[in-house]
Amino acid sequence: MKHMLWGGLLAAVAIGAAPAGAKTTPGQPVAQKVGLDVLAALPLMSNLRMSPDGNKVAMTLGAGNEFGYALLDLTKPGAPPKIFARASTFKEGEQREVTGYRWASDRYLLLTLSSSEFVARFGQRIDINRIVAYDTETGKTIPLGWEGAAANAANILHIDKQKGRILLARQVDDANTERVFREQVSWVDVATGKVIETVQRTNPIVRSWFADGKGVVRMGFGYDPDNGEERYLYRSNGDEQFRTVQRVVDKDFTGGGIQPIVFLDEPDMAIVSSNHEGHAAIYKANLATMTVGAKLFSVPGYDVDGAMANDAENGILGYAYATDRPRRKFADAKLAEIAQYLAEDFGDGNASIVSSNDGHSRLIVEIASPDQIGSFYLYDTESGKFGLIGHRSEALRDGKLNPVKMIRYKASDGLEIEAVVTTPRLRANQKKLPLVVLVHGGPYGVRDYAEYDQWAQAVAEQGYLVVQPNYRGSGGYGTAFVKAGREDGFGTRMQDDLNDLVDHLASQGVADPARACMMGWSYGGYASARAAQRDPARWKCTIAGAGVYDLPMMRDYDKGYLGNFGANYLAKGASSLADVSPARSTDSQWTPILVVHGARDPRVPIAQARTLVARLKRSGKVQGTDFDYIEQPENGHYGVYFTKEERIEWLGGTAKWLDRFNPAYIPADPDFARKPAADPAIEAVKFGS
C-alpha cells in the first residue's frame, strides 16, 4: 500500500502549462463537501528549495503517514522527483526529524535533523540538532561535524560554495560541563564531514555566534536563563578581540536589543532589527557603538519579521513582514518588478516567491488565495515560461474551499484585536451560525493569518463558523500588545478576549452565542480547558490538545528547560499560577471537554493531560459524558510530528465531540434539510484511550 501511495504521488508531479491571462488565482469553488480523509492528509508537496544553478529542486513529499525527501531534476522535463530519504530514515529512538534544508552547492544539499531527547547526564530533555549533507551525485549522506558534538551542532553561519565548506557553530562535549552548551565555530568540509579548522573557541559568556559574508566571526550573543540578561560581544574584524557592546534584560519577553541580520562592507555597519520604537523594524546600525541609525523599512501597526540577505551576504534583497497575510517587499529592482507582475496577474498577496537560483533567473512561485491550499510553479524570467510543478494536495488541487478573511473587533476594555474568520461555504449567507473559536499556541509571539489553515478548514467543512483570534500577547503587533498579554493576560484578560470575540460576532448577527465551542493546541489547549473550567455557561463544549493544565507543575518542568528566569513566561498577571490552573479547580461545574495529548510530547509532558484526567475523575466527572480522552502513543507536540492518522484522530475527534454537544445543523436552521451525510473518517474515531 505504501508503494502505491508513493507511486501515485510521484506520478502527480510534472511541469505543465500555467493558466493563460489569469487576473486572479486559477481554480473554482469546490461545490461538494470534502471528506476529512482528504482535508487531514499530509501535504503532497512542500518546502521547495532550488539549487544555486537552477537545475534541481529539493522538496518534501507527503503520502500516507510519512514524509519523503526528494529531488526534481529540471533538466529532464516530465521526469518525476526522485525520493532519496523517508522521515523514518532519520528517526533514531526519539523524534529525529528533518526540520529544514538548504543548498551548500549545486551538488550538496544540507539537511537539519532535530530531536528532543532525555539525557541522563543532565537529568532533563535536551534539544539535539545535527547537519547532514546529501550528495546528489553519489546518493551518500554525510554527517557534518558530528564527532564530539553535544546538543546543538547545526548553526550554519556561512556557506563557502567555492571551497566546498561551511562555517558551523556547534556545541562540543569536551568534558567541560561549564561550557558544554557554548558554541565553538569551525570550518567543516561538506564532502567528508570533517572539521578542517576551528576559528573560534567556546566563550563562557557566548551561547551563539554571528559571522559576516566573508566567513569572519564578528558577534557573539550570551543569555543567562536565570536572570534574563542578554549580552552582545563584537569585533570589527578577525584580528581584534571581542568586547561587550550591549547588555539588556528583556523583562517583558518582548525581544530587546539590536539583532544583526547582515554585516555590510562599511566598517562596523550592519542591517539590524530593533523594536526600540515599539514595533520591530529594520535599521542601519553601527555595531561597535550599538547605535541605531536610519530606518530602512517599517510597517505601521505591525512588526517586520526580518530582512532577506543577498547572495554575497553584504546587502539585502528585501523585507519579510505580515499584515493580514505574510508578505514580502523587495529592495532588489528585478525581484520587485517580478513581484509587481505577479500581483497584477494573480491578485495582491496571492503569489509568493519561495525560492530562486543564484541570479534569480529561475523562480519557484507559490500561488494561493486565502481559501486555497496552494500550488507551486516554475517561472523562467529569461524565457517567460511559467509552468506548474505541482499542488500541495492532488485531491484539492487549486479548488477554492471555505472563504477566509481578517476582521477587527474591540475587546471589552477597548483594545482592538484582529481575528481570522473562515466561513463555511456550503452555508453561504446564513446568519447565526454555530461557532468554533480556534485558539493558537504560544501564546506570546505567535499569531494566525488570513490564509488556508488545515484545522480551520476541516472544522468549517463540518458547517461551523471558525474564528482564530490574535488575542493580546500575540506576536506581530508590537511590544505594547505583547505586554498587554504579559501584564494581565494568561488565563485572565487573554481569556476575556476570546469571550469578547463571541459577543462581537453575535452582535454582527453572523454567529449564535448559544452555540459556541472552543478548541486549540498547546496554549490553545490550555485556553480551552480554562474556558471549560472558568466560563462553563458560555461554552457548549471545548477540545483541548497538548495543553498545560497545572501551571506550577509546568513551571517546575520548565526550570530545567528554560532556567529560573525563562520559566516566568507563564502567568505574570495572575494572582498565582494555581489560581489559573484548570487542573486545580476540577470540583466546580465544567463544560464538556475532550482532552487530546501525545505521549511523546517533548514540550508539554504527557503528565499534564494525565493529571487533568485523573483529577476530573477524582472530582466525580464521568468519562464519556463530562469529558473524554484521546492519548496518541506516537505523537509529539509540534505539527511536523503529526501523521495523517493522528491528524484524523485529532480533527475527527474534534468533529465528533462538536456534533455531540453542539451540532452544526439543528432543526431550527434554514438549511437543516441539506445537512451533509456523515463522514466515515469522523465516525471511525474512538474516544476513551
pLDDT along the chain (689 residues), means of 10: 41 48 80 95 95 97 90 93 84 67 97 76 72 96 91 93 96 68 93 96 91 96 83 95 91 79 97 95 96 97 96 94 96 95 94 96 97 97 93 96 98 97 95 97 93 97 98 95 86 95 97 98 96 97 96 77 55 73 96 95 90 97 96 80 87 97 97 94 89
Question: Dihedrals φ, ψ of 610, to 5°?
Answer: -65, -35
Angstrom distance (rounded) from CA 492 to CA 579: 10
The answer to whether the CB of 439 falls within 8 A of the CB of 453 is no
Give the three cell numbers for residue 144: 557534518
Angstrom distance (rounded) from CA 111 to CA 98: 7
Angstrom distance (rounded) from CA 537 to CA 421: 24
Angstrom distance (rounded) from CA 258 to CA 256: 7
User: What is the full DSSP assignment across 540-564?
Assistant: SEEEEES----HHHHHHHHHHHHHH
Specify which residues 660 forms β-bridges with. none
Rg over CA atoms, the chain: 25
Q: Which H or E run contains 233?
A: strand 229-234
Angstrom distance (rounded) from CA 438 to CA 435: 10
Angstrom distance (rounded) from CA 634 to CA 88: 13
Angstrom distance (rounded) from CA 456 to CA 182: 41
Which amino acid type is present at position 546? A
Question: Of 311, 219, 201, 204, whose CA–CA distance to 257 is shortest?
Answer: 219
Question: Dihedrals φ, ψ of 247, to 5°?
Answer: -130, 135
Angstrom distance (rounded) from CA 406 to CA 420: 5
Burial class (CB in 10 A: 0-12, 13-18, 19+), 315: middle
The answer to whether the CB of 461 falls within 8 A of the CB of 422 is no
3-state secondary structure of 398: coil
Residue whose cell numbers read 474512538: 686
Give the three cell numbers for residue 582: 484548570
Angstrom distance (rounded) from CA 576 to CA 89: 45
pLDDT at residue 293, rounded to an integer: 96
Q: From start to end of 217-315, where are the E strands?
A: 217-223, 229-234, 243-249, 259-263, 269-274, 281-286, 291-297, 304-309
Q: What share of the chain is helix, strand, coil (3-state, %, to 5)?
A: 20, 35, 45
Pairing mode, if any, of strands 229-234 and 243-249?
antiparallel
Neighbours of 677 (CB within 10 A): 6
The answer to whether the CB of 381 falls within 8 A of the CB of 351 is no
Q: Which H or E run contains 659?
A: helix 644-661
Neighbours of 478 (CB within 10 A): 18
Q: Which H or E run contains 446?
A: none
Angstrom distance (rounded) from CA 200 to CA 215: 12
Question: Of 250, 10, 266, whose CA–CA distance to 258 is shortest?
Answer: 250
The answer to whether the CB of 298 falls within 8 A of the CB of 304 is yes
Give the three cell numbers for residue 672: 437543516
Angstrom distance (rounded) from CA 35 to CA 29: 15
| Region of residue 123 (left: phi > 0; alpha: psi -120 to 50; beta: else) | left
Question: Dihedrals φ, ψ of 532, to 5°?
Answer: -65, -35
Angstrom distance (rounded) from CA 191 to CA 309: 26
Neighbours of 52 (CB within 10 A): 18
pLDDT at residue 529, rounded to an integer: 98
Angstrom distance (rounded) from CA 437 to CA 496: 13
Specify which residues 519 forms β-bridges with. 438, 543
3-state secondary structure of 97: strand
Angstrom distance (rounded) from CA 574 to CA 630: 30
3-state secondary structure of 600: coil
The alpha helices in 469-577, defined as continuous H runs, are 479-487, 493-507, 523-534, 551-566
Question: Of 495, 429, 433, 509, whose CA–CA distance to 464 is shortest?
Answer: 433
CATH topology of domain 404-683: Rossmann fold (3.40.50)
Q: Is the pTM of this model over 0.85?
A: yes
**What are the CA-CA distances from residue 1 to residues 60, 63, 641 (Å)?**
20, 11, 21
**What are the CA-CA distances from residue 87 to residues 42, 64, 232, 637 (Å)?**
13, 12, 37, 17
Instruction: Say how far residue 444 (Cα) sits from the centre of its chain.
Output: 13
In sequence order, what are the residues at sequence separation of 6 or more whose Cβ sits closer than 8 angstroms to the Cβ of residue 234?
Answer: 218, 219, 220, 242, 243, 245, 287, 288, 290
